[in-house]
Amino acid sequence: MGRWALDVAFVWKAVLTLGLVLLYYCFSIGITFYNKWLTKSFHFPLFMTMLHLAVIFLFSALSRALVQCSSHRARVVLSWTDYLKRVAPTALATALDVGLSNWSFLYITVSLYTMTKSSAVLFILIFSLIFKLEELRAALVLVVLLIAGGLFMFTYKSTQFNVKGFSLVLGASFIGGIRWTLTQMLLQKAELGLQNPIDTMFHLQPLMFLGLFPLFAIFEGLHLSTSEKIFRFQDTGLLLRVLGSLFLGGILAFGLGFSEFLLVSRTSSLTLSIAGIFKEVCTLLLAAHLLGDQISLLNWLGFALCLSGISLHVALKTLHSRGEGGSRPLKGLSSSPDLELLLRSSQPEDEDNEEEDYFMAQGQQ
């Protein structure tokens, strides 16, 4: 009877894990293809991003209210001094990362975006060394060389290479290195009380919106004000379809963070890291099959080399965590750009703290 119960528990856990992974894949891969699909007909990626930020803020505010009502505990609200001094740099870097990433979809394929954005872990390692969050080790140098070499091979003689789009997404990856390093430093300040992902989203989104607004005003403001799809619309049905499509992206962005949080809280961060690596492969296969992205053998070898570097980094983080006495793997980096906030150096002390020591959802894009 005991053996049967253990078998049932194992099967149930496996089914639950598979379901959570599939849910995460749906949101993560879905928002990547959604961004590419929408930018084909709606050439205002910065406005799209700003609307997504507004939707995420509304959902995070609603979630905070629901949690507060159910737990009868007040949620954290930062003072203006802490808000502008501590949160603003992270919010600005996050806004630029997300905005440039979505902007790049106007020029490059999903496969090139996926590969290039995966290199963000390279810049995170560099800035972690600069800010003394990581110690320089031979293994880290190997990780950097593998990722950099893989990126070079993937983009070398690519038939669908676009300099402008590649520069945008590479710039986003570079800024992402600053973003996630600052975010780690922000979350490690326990006195701020932003360990809960909902609270982090709630505080970041307004400053992200304001940080992205100048770029939007310069590059898209005039064109959007004269566009018949938004401000000079003549077809109400078309306007509603456009707004509905934009709102859908905000739901996907919020759902991505929610699915990641569920996967980590119900399984482990290592499961999320491994799932993120396979998600990149699935994204490239779907891009080649559905969108006709052309990927040569050299490109695939480069991608495999990059994934090897990322996998090595995940393994090193896990071993480092267990070497420090932790029973659970460290919330280290994975291959996905929306998972990079798993840059955590501290372990939760109990089951309640595990949920509050997770990350904010906005790295999704």
Backbone angles phi, psi at 135, to 5 degrees: -100, 140
Please report which confidence band the pLDDT of residue 179 belongs to, taking 50, 70 and 90 as the band edges.
Answer: confident
* 285-329 confidence digits (pLDDT tens): 888 888 877 777 887 888 888 788 877 877 776 676 666 554 343
Which structure tokens are listed for 194? 């932003």
The pLDDT score that the predictor gives to residue 124 is 75
Residues 6+ apart with CB under 8 A from 130: 181
CA atoms within 13 A on the CB side of 35: 32
Taking a C-beta distance cutoff of 8 angstroms, is the pair 167, 112 a contact? no
Which is nearest to 252 in space by CA: 78, 9, 3, 52? 52
Which structure tokens are listed for 70? 């159910």
Residues 6+ apart with CB under 8 A from 258: 27, 361
* 106-115 confidence digits (pLDDT tens): 998 888 888 7
97-112 mean pLDDT: 90
Residues 6+ apart with CB under 8 A from 273: 314, 329, 332, 333, 334, 339, 342
Q: Over the Cα atoms of the chain, what is R_g?
A: 20
Please report which confidence band the pLDDT of residue 346 belongs to, taking 50, 70 and 90 as the band edges.
Answer: very low
Mean pLDDT of the chain: 77
Highest mean pLDDT among 101-115, 145-159, 296-310, 328-342: 101-115
Which structure tokens are listed for 24? 């995460």
Q: Which of 18-22, 186-190, 324-328 has the lowest mean pLDDT?
A: 324-328
